[in-house]
Homo-oligomer: A and B are copies of this chain.
Amino acid sequence: MSPRWRSNGNTESVDNYLKAIFYLGGLEECRVSIKALAERLCVAPASVTNMLQKLAASPAPLVEYERHRGVQLSAAGKRRALEVVRHHRLIETFLYRVLDYPIEEVHEEAERLEHFISERFEERIAAKLGHPTIDPHGHSIPTMEGKMATRESILLADVVEDGTFVIESVSDRDAQNLRLLEACGIVPGARMQVSKSASLEGYSVRIGRSSKVFALSCEVALDIRIVRPTK
């Protein structure tokens, strides 16, 4: 006799651990340290150790964990992480395109809702949106089967030679910053002229044909991915 509303088992925390391991592990899926996870999740390192031990001890473990050598997702864990990322990015796209959210508000709402929507909800919003592959921040949306397209972009922060680029994606984690970027026209798909300015400790950029120049700090440049123009 357990309350109706807990019947699905609450996977919120677990999902957040999996997502964090997924992001921190990068595409190379290297082992992630307890410290890095603790920082990303805003919990104490001891809490992370605890949770990972529990996850690793389950009959169908979502993580591969070895004492003192960090943690990695198992195949099942990666599948679940990609599902949550798909939920997150579909919801962001939906909020932006169907419910006309301001761009800087979609992340927070998606961060909450991603854990609670059903398969049906996922399928319906995907259909409504025409099965999108890119979210409003320019990030790839994993498919229902758990495949995520990889694109050959680089970090703006890694640019060494001045040139023209197309913005692939921006970070969704800092709403304040996102609002500023959007106001400057720094949005996925925009064409951007970049010049590295040593004096400024950052980058000067011009968007499209505008003559306005914006200064971007190195920190912000770490959150922007760009590609060479196709033509």
- Check A1 for interface membership: any CB of B closer than 8 A: yes
Which residues of chain B come closer than 8 Å to A99, judged between CB atoms?
121, 124-125, 128
Number of residues from A at the complex interface, CB < 8 A: 32
Which residues of chain B come closer than 8 Å to A3, judged between CB atoms?
13, 16, 41-43
A113's partner among B16, B42, B111, B113 (CB-CB below 8 A) is B113
Assembly CA distance A195 to B151 (angstroms): 67
- Check A23 for interface membership: any CB of B closer than 8 A: no
Assembly CA distance A113 to B124 (angstroms): 15
Contact present for B120 and A2 (CB under 8 Å): no
**Complex copy number for this chain:** 2
Nearest CB in chain B to that of A43: its residue: B3
Closest approach, in angstroms, between the C-beta of A164 and any C-beta of chain B?
Answer: 37
Which residues of chain B come closer than 8 Å to A12, judged between CB atoms?
5
Contact present for B4 and A42 (CB under 8 Å): yes
- Check A64 for interface membership: any CB of B closer than 8 A: no
- Check A44 for interface membership: any CB of B closer than 8 A: yes
Assembly CA distance A120 to B99 (angstroms): 10
Which residues of chain B come closer than 8 Å to A116, judged between CB atoms?
112-113, 116
Which residues of chain B come closer than 8 Å to A219, judged between CB atoms?
none
- Check A117 for interface membership: any CB of B closer than 8 A: yes
Which residues of chain B come closer than 8 Å to A109, judged between CB atoms?
117-118, 120-121
- Check A101 for interface membership: any CB of B closer than 8 A: yes
Contact present for B113 and A4 (CB under 8 Å): no
Closest approach, in angstroms, between the C-beta of A94 and any C-beta of chain B?
Answer: 10
Binding site for B on A (CB under 8 A): 1-5, 8, 12-13, 16, 41-44, 95, 98-101, 105, 108-109, 111-113, 116-118, 120-121, 124-125, 128
CB pairs A–B below 8 angstroms (29 shown): A1-B43, A1-B44, A2-B42, A2-B43, A3-B13, A3-B16, A3-B41, A3-B42, A4-B41, A4-B111, A5-B13, A5-B16, A5-B112, A8-B112, A95-B121, A98-B98, A98-B128, A99-B124, A99-B128, A101-B124, A105-B120, A108-B118, A109-B117, A109-B120, A112-B116, A113-B113, A113-B116, A113-B117, A116-B116
* Complex A-B, nearest 6 residue pairs according to Cβ-Cβ distance, in ascending order: A99-B124, A112-B116, A3-B43, A3-B42, A4-B42, A116-B116
